[in-house]
Chains A and B, each alone.
Chain A
Amino acid sequence: MSKRTLRVSKIRNGTVIDHITRGHALDVIKILGIDGRAGGVVTIAMNVPSEKLGVKDIVKIEGRELNPEEVDKIALLAPHATINIIRNYRVVEKQRVKLPSVIYGILKCVNPSCISNSGEPVKSTFYVEQEEPLRLRCHYCGRIIEREDVLKQF
């Protein structure tokens, strides 16, 4: 077994998040609320050589399959990532994350005076103006939110 395969060893059941933009592995961990206390093996690899990206980060999570909302959240911070669902050491599902042009519900506007932060029946709505660096505009108040603002919410 080469050193290379050791570094990114296989998992039995769970999720491999590949092609994360370099430097964003810990952001992905944070956004998924992973703190290690759930018990499964979590492997984080940073600055791994990649043909597509030059270097990339990888996160492997044993015993957890991501749901679509979690995949959308990853897209906010790592728009090139691919998600591999692993069962019994085999990739059973492979999908590329895709940032939708409009993001409903998962984020809060940073503007405390925005109507979307009031008691009204309203679902937060953001338009993706730019993927990298991330730039979202609130549909209601027009406020711009960026990567740091998104990270603070998870």
Chain B
Amino acid sequence: MNAVRFEGRDIISIRDFTRGELDYILNMASEMEEVAKRGSDMLRGRTLASLFFEPSTRTRLSFEVAMQKLGGTTIGFAEPDISSIKKGETLADTVRVVENYADVIVLRHPLEGAARFAAEYARVPVINAGSGAEEHPTQAMLDLYTILKEKGRIDGLDIALMGDLRYGRTVHSLAYALSLYDVRLYFISPSMLRMRREVLDDIKGRVDVVEEENVEDVIPKIDVLYVTRIQKERFPDLSDYEKVRGSYRIDLNLLKGAKDGLIILHPLPRVDEIAPEVDATPYAKYFKQVWNGVVVRMALLALVLGALE
């Protein structure tokens, strides 16, 4: 993979990556496991700005810790209410100010396409940490990394994505990423939360896709179950939310028919879609994903800032 060059590159959409590039990132993440434990000064003197226009703890902490473990520093805001945005500043202006303070910008924004737009204005690399209901590419990379680490491979697996497939941004990025591998995908959701047509069109022809409403039928067939939260804030009409909440819940009873090696992933936070009793089973890998997120983001930061070739 000598041709891969990441220095200065924006990380906006998983669609901008080839399989070779994703494999390369996963490989670098694996090398970061040791670095993450002992720390490094690979990015000493470099600054990450995290601009979070939407609430998030996990993703922001994960990026900030990744930067600190590489010796870099972090600045930013997590509450647009207290910043100049409240005074009506545009994203284009915010980015052109912040690029003077930072070597890389990590952006979360409620509007779709915000990261792509910000990257057009910023001279420093922009990493998309979630844009509306659209995409969350670094989450997809850490999900791939978790599957690879836990199962030893991605090719040849039967993988189910379950829950809010329409509004959940993590599943859009993940479905696209998985379509670059030789897998069979099951999309399990209530009919009103089915996977978006854009995503289905994109992956059609590359992988087998089965759409299901019933999770019980799928459990015995799969190697990976990726569960997502039904997000209340994505529903314009709350009565629609009440109709579907809690209709997809993973508990020990449901898992009786599961394959031995099944792994269950979740981007977190969960509400009640996975019963706490599942946490103690060997299936549960969702808390391990959190650590994997740190090493994947370390790899990405080191790559886009040119500290890794």
Residues of A that sit less than 8 Å from B by CB: 111, 113-116, 118-122, 137-144
Contact = CB atoms under 8 A, between A and B. Distances in A.
Tell me what chain A mostly uses at the interface: helix, strand, loop, or mixed: loop
A121 B111 contact: no
B92 interface: yes
A123 B109 CA distance: 19
Interface size classification for chain B = 20 to 34
Given A141-B132, A142-B13, A122 B117 contact: yes
Interface of B: 13, 15, 90-92, 109-114, 116-117, 131-135, 197-198, 201
Contacts of B132: 113, 141
Contacts, number: 55
Contacts of B117: 115-116, 120, 122, 140
Contacts of B13: 142
Nearest to B134: A141
A114 B111 contact: yes
Contact of B198 (A115, A118, A144): A144
Contacts of A139: 113, 116
Given A115-B117, A141-B134, A144-B201, A120 B90 contact: yes
B198 A142 contact: yes
Given A115-B111, A115-B117, A116-B113, 16 more contacts: A113-B112, A113-B133, A114-B112, A115-B91, A115-B109, A115-B116, A116-B117, A118-B111, A121-B92, A137-B198, A139-B116, A140-B116, A140-B117, A142-B13, A142-B135, A143-B198
B201 A140 contact: no
Contact of A113 (B92, B110, B197): B110
A116 B13 CA distance: 17
Nearest to B202: A142
B116 A121 contact: no
Most chain A beta carbons < 10 A, residue from B110, B111, B113, B132: B113
B113 A140 contact: yes
Most chain A beta carbons < 10 A, residue from B90, B134, B201: B134
A140 B114 CA distance: 7
A58 to B, nearest CB: 34
Nearest to A138: B113
